[in-house]
Amino acid sequence: MGDVLAGNHATWEFDTDSLLIRFERGIRTPRLLQSLRERRVPYSALSSVELSPGKRGTVVLHAVPRPGADPLLEAAAGQLKEGCDPYRLSLPADRETLAEYYADELRTALGPDASQPADRFLVAAPEAPMQFKAYDGRAGFDGSLVSFRWSWTGASSAKWKAGDQTFPVADLCGVEWRSPEATEGYLRLVPRGAATDACGPAPVPGLDAPDAAGRRVQADQDPAAVLFGVGYGPVHESLPFAAAVLESVRRTQSPPPAPALAPVGAPSHDPAAVAERMRHLGELHRAGLVTDDEYSAKKAELLAEL
């Protein structure tokens, strides 16, 4: 597409095969989005596109990722507030027509498997090395090893007895993150061979993971977990950390996928869909939302798709 759409806190740049989201670093931008800086999202990672009314005279363009496509959202497990959702772009209400146009453009770019969960991560996780300070220790990740170094002011006697911990990514099954904005927030690593030797759904908060004997262990007693608290393990530090570890764990579990071969000579777009987009483009041009040069360039792109 090659276009840019600027909204509150972020700018979306539409490339040929992906959406580049750049987040602002202003004082009003949520700290999680500031820490992410930018994210490239392949269109194949999206399941749908929604446009809805927002708050205080805005509209919200929402690119909905496929389940399993983004390690950040997988680690968050539905705990992110709307304002921290990196896939929501808030725009002034008077730009709704333009937002509708880009929503249609995105929908036509969705991959053939948009309705299916992704079998691997398609969006890159934040890069290591990373670290953050938890209530009972300090967590670090260098890309292959996760380390927990206990604090003498917060760590339980069970953790002191176990000593500082180092976990190779290859020895982990998964990651559990419970938001520090909720009670009993924590980051837990799930080692291979623990209890069922599988990564199932996250355990009930407060009960947490079973030990080798099948007994439930509280997060403050588990050497594979660090606790959050007021000022400790904030979302913008602990969630990208969890996503980076989760992505590394998944990468060690599965071989790299074979590249998909595109059918030779297959048309890339439905002519009827292209005609509808040209009609919509004409409406934007007549409304003054697209300049003459932008109209001519986009029309040529659409004709080239036929």
pLDDT at 305: 72
Do residues 24 and 108 lie in contact, with contact meaning Cβ atoms separated by under 8 Å?
no
d(C-alpha 165, C-alpha 214), whole Å: 21
Least confident piece of the model among 83-87, 140-144, 195-199: 195-199
d(C-alpha 221, C-alpha 202), whole Å: 17
Closest alpha carbon to 36 in 3, 105, 85, 109: 85
Q: What is the pLDDT confidence band of residue 294, given thresholds at 50, 70 and 90?
A: confident
Q: What is the pLDDT confidence band of residue 95, given thresholds at 50, 70 and 90?
A: very high
Q: What is the pLDDT confidence band of residue 306, given thresholds at 50, 70 and 90?
A: low
pLDDT > 80? residue 204: no
pTM score: 0.80
Instruction: State the average pLDDT over residues 42-55.
Output: 95
Least confident piece of the model among 19-23, 114-118, 275-279, 285-289: 285-289
Omega before 234 within 30 of 0, i.e. cis: no
Residue type, 57: G
Beta bridge partners of 229: 232
